[in-house]
């Protein structure tokens, strides 16, 4: 039962002067990207509906991004997490979508307690590394996580790490916070393609903030809940299938730092697994000069097909979680952007007419054509094989920082204007120098 204590002591010891500069810079880019993505989600249905409920509550602790409103720390994390996952434009890692859970907790707790930017950045890094550690425990399987969404499964514990660090929890209190958070972990992939999928990010962030605040008040859980019999790892992460589970893998690499090696940025506002296929479709369109109407058939062949990517889209939200609709948009429009996933775009006659040409297949041999598979396109009696490459933004193909800033300015500028977006980008990229996060959040909330 020493696992929780080892992990808690590690969290308390995270300091920027111990972290490689490369990982610090990637962490700041991740925070920047997440704030922009959340602002781009302002006005979309999931965030609006959650905020309508939260508006019944009164408090003045933490900012709701893109609005002059403040609410409780917990509820700010809920709203901002939901906003940040609404477009599915947020980053990825080995434990799901990291920043959509970490950043709302970091901002809400940091603003409420008026912590410095350096403290926020250290808390973010600690939360990220705890998520990476937990994800190393269970071997990857074809039915990974038995239908649970990894963001919702790991997120409450990573959020509790961020808030716990900012609250100054002792190692024992942090273990209680993880125990409380562990009882709130979950989220089914069967809800992908609906408003509930983005809610996973909000609930996970809120759950961790609440868990840390309860632990700070003396509220207790099983301090060994992570690795106890019938605990988080055995019951939730491994679902009782303990073969191959190795808790030592979580602690063995603590302090080796994994952000730069695992962080993945999205270029397109849809599921990460389709990013490379979209790139391939855009390359085909540019190189061939052919358009969607010219094609007889499009097979998307991938080495492994996630169960939740098998469903043919039925609307703009479900279109984000398959290959066929975003690839069709790439071939039709020459771009895949926020407006591609509107009802109006999805219901276009040219989309409805041509989606029947598409088929997604699991084909292990497709790796012979490209690392992520191949598009097999038939047009005018010819068959073209377009490799699906690793997308720019993957940890194996890091995106230039300037492109992350460009994405942030485009997203945030929709809400706060281009000038404020550029100014806040600079502040977020030097977050460790800020004495307080509050003035920056005032700009992003349009209060100044």
What CATH number corresponds to the domain at position 82?
Answer: 1.10.4100.10
- Among 173, 165, 162, 178, which residue's Cα sits nearest to residue 225? 178
* 122 belongs to a structural domain: yes
Same structural domain for residues 225 and 322? no
User: Is the per-residue pLDDT at 143 higher than 60?
Assistant: no
* 226 belongs to a structural domain: yes
User: pLDDT value at position 448?
Assistant: 47
User: pLDDT value at position 446?
Assistant: 74
**Domain tally, the chain:** 2
Phi and psi for 416 in degrees, rounded to 5?
Answer: -105, -5
Same structural domain for residues 122 and 178? yes
* 251 belongs to a structural domain: yes
CB 398 within 8 A of CB 25: no
* 392 belongs to a structural domain: no
Phi and psi for 271 in degrees, rounded to 5?
Answer: -55, 140
- Taking residues 411-439, what's their average pLDDT? 97
Same structural domain for residues 218 and 308? no
CB 182 within 8 A of CB 156: yes
Query: In angstroms, rounded to a whole number, what is the distance separating the alpha carbons of residues 185 and 151?
Result: 9
Size of the chain, expressed as the number of residues it contains: 448
User: pLDDT value at position 142?
Assistant: 43
Same structural domain for residues 237 and 340? no
Segment 358-416, tens digit of pLDDT:
999 999 999 999 999 999 999 989 999 999 999 999 999 999 999 999 999 999 999 99
User: Is the per-residue pLDDT at 272 higher than 90?
Assistant: yes
Same structural domain for residues 247 and 300? no
User: pLDDT value at position 244?
Assistant: 75
- Residue 348 has a CB neighbour count (10 Å cut-off) of 14
Segment 288-323, tens digit of pLDDT:
999 999 999 999 999 988 766 655 677 667 789 889
* 366 belongs to a structural domain: yes
In sequence order, what are the residues at sequence separation of 6 or more whose Cβ sits closer than 8 angstroms to the Cβ of residue 52? none
**Domain span holding position 328:** 272-387
Segment 16-27, tens digit of pLDDT:
999 999 999 999
Segment 335-352, tens digit of pLDDT:
999 999 998 999 999 999
- Taking residues 226-234, what's their average pLDDT? 90
Same structural domain for residues 218 and 278? no
User: pLDDT value at position 433?
Assistant: 98
Higher pLDDT, 238 or 5: 5
User: pLDDT value at position 355?
Assistant: 93
Last residue of a domain, one of 343, 368, 387: 387
- Taking residues 107-121, what's their average pLDDT? 98
Longest dimension (CA), the chain: 71
Segment 156-197, tens digit of pLDDT:
999 999 999 999 999 999 999 999 999 999 899 888 888 999
Same structural domain for residues 371 and 411? no
Task: Supply 253's token pair.
Answer: 């690499």
Same structural domain for residues 82 and 155? yes
Same structural domain for residues 62 and 157? yes
* 243 belongs to a structural domain: yes
Task: Supply 185's token pair.
Answer: 């972990």
Same structural domain for residues 100 and 142? yes
Mean pLDDT of the chain: 92
User: pLDDT value at position 255?
Assistant: 85
Same structural domain for residues 262 and 347? no
User: pLDDT value at position 190?
Assistant: 86
C-alpha pair distances (Å), 374 with each of 107, 133, 243, 343: 41, 33, 34, 29
User: pLDDT value at position 313?
Assistant: 72
Burial class (CB in 10 A: 0-12, 13-18, 19+), 225: buried
Segment 40-82, tens digit of pLDDT:
999 888 888 887 877 777 778 999 999 998 999 999 999 999 9
Same structural domain for residues 289 and 171? no
User: pLDDT value at position 311?
Assistant: 56
* 362 belongs to a structural domain: yes
């Amino acid at each position: 039962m020493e696992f929780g204590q080892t992990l808690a002591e590690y969290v308390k010891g995270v300091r920027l002067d111990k972290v490689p500069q490369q990982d610090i810079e990637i962490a700041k880019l991740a925070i920047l990207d997440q704030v922009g993505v959340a602002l781009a989600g302002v006005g979309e249905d999931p965030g609006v509906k959650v905020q309508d409920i939260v508006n019944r509550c009164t408090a003045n602790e933490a900012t709701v991004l893109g609005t002059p409103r403040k609410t409780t720390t917990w509820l700010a994390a809920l709203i901002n997490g939901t906003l940040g996952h609404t477009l599915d434009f947020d980053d990825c890692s080995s434990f799901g979508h990291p920043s959509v859970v970490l950043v709302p907790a970091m901002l809400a707790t940091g603003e409420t307690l008026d912590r410095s930017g350096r403290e926020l950045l250290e808390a973010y890094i600690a939360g990220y590394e705890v998520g990476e550690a937990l994800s190393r425990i269970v071997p990857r399987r074809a039915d990974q996580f038995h239908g649970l969404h990894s963001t919702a499964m790991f997120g409450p514990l990573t959020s509790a790490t961020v808030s716990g660090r900012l609250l100054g929890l002792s190692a024992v209190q942090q273990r209680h916070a993880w125990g409380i958070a562990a009882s709130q972990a979950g989220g089914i992939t069967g809800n992908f393609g609906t408003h509930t999928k983005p809610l996973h990010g909000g609930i996970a962030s809120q759950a961790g903030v609440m868990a840390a605040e309860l632990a700070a008040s003396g509220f207790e859980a099983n301090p060994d809940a992570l690795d106890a019999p019938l605990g988080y790892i055995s019951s939730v992460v491994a679902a009782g299938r303990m073969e191959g589970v190795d808790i030592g893998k979580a602690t063995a690499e603590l302090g080796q730092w994994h952000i730069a090696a695992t962080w993945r940025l999205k270029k397109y506002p849809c599921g990460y697994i389709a990013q490379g296929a979209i790139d391939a479709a855009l390359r085909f369109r540019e190189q061939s000069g052919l358009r969607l109407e010219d094609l007889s058939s499009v097979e998307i062949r991938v080495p492994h097909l996630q169960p939740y990517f098998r469903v043919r889209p039925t609307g703009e939200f479900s279109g984000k979680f398959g290959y066929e609709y975003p690839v069709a948009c790439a071939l039709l429009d020459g771009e895949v952007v926020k407006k591609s996933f509107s009802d109006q775009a999805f219901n276009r006659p040219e989309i409805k007419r041509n989606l029947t040409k598409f088929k997604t297949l699991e084909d292990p041999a497709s790796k012979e054509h490209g690392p992520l598979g191949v598009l097999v396109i038939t047009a005018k009696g010819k068959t073209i094989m377009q490799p699906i490459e690793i997308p720019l933004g993957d940890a194996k193909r890091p995106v230039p920082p300037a492109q992350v800033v460009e994405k942030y300015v485009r997203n945030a500028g929709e809400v706060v204007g281009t000038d404020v977006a550029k100014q806040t980008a600079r502040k977020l990229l030097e977050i460790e120098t800020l004495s307080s996060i509050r003035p920056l959040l005032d700009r992003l909330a349009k209060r100044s």
